[in-house]
């Protein structure tokens, strides 16, 4: 049976999806964009500031479901410009100092609300 995860501490979904879904000890976190949950607005700055906010949002959702970054097994990163890959990695790496998860990163034409980065995550207990 699936359990829907929804916390007011993370940004509300911008479409018909859940922040995360837990099934049999696995947590599937929907793609997070750099929305500040307190203001409901995209954070100011460039790719580093946006990636930092995305990772904070993922951390909030993980914690609300009883998981942590140590439980993450796979991430998918979407970038509107692959020239931002190294800068995104610099921020992303701070959250996985040891044993980072499997990951894919793609350049895409456009992301929701015109953001520069979106990251989805899968965690397991």
pLDDT, tens only, 76-123? 999 999 999 999 999 999 999 999 999 999 999 999 999 999 999 999
Closest-CA residue to 105 (of 83, 72, 95):
83
Close Cβ partners of 106 (under 8 Å, ≥ 6 residues apart)? 76, 77, 78, 79
Mean predicted lDDT score pLDDT of the chain: 96
Q: Which fold has domain 3-124?
A: 60s Ribosomal Protein L30; Chain: A; (3.30.1330)
Tokens for 14, please give them.
């911008």
Counting residues of the chain whose pLDDT is more than 70, the rounded percentage is 100
pLDDT, tens only, 27-83? 999 999 999 999 999 999 999 999 999 999 999 999 999 999 999 999 999 999 999
pLDDT at 96: 97
Counting residues of the chain whose pLDDT is more than 90, the rounded percentage is 96
Q: What is the DSSP letter of 11?
A: P
């Amino acid at each position: 049976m699936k359990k829907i995860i929804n916390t007011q501490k993370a940004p509300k979904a911008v479409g018909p999806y859940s922040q995360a879904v837990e099934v049999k000890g696995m947590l599937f976190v929907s793609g997070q964009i750099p929305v500040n949950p307190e203001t409901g607005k995209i954070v100011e700055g460039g790719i580093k500031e946006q990636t930092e906010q995305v990772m904070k949002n993922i951390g909030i959702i993980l914690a609300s479901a009883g998981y942590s970054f140590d439980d993450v097994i796979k991430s998918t990163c979407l970038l509107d410009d692959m020239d931002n890959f190294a800068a995104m990695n610099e921020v992303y790496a701070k959250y996985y100092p040891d044993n980072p998860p499997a990951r894919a990163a793609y350049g895409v034409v456009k992301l929701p609300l015109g953001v520069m980065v979106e990251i989805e995550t899968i965690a397991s207990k």
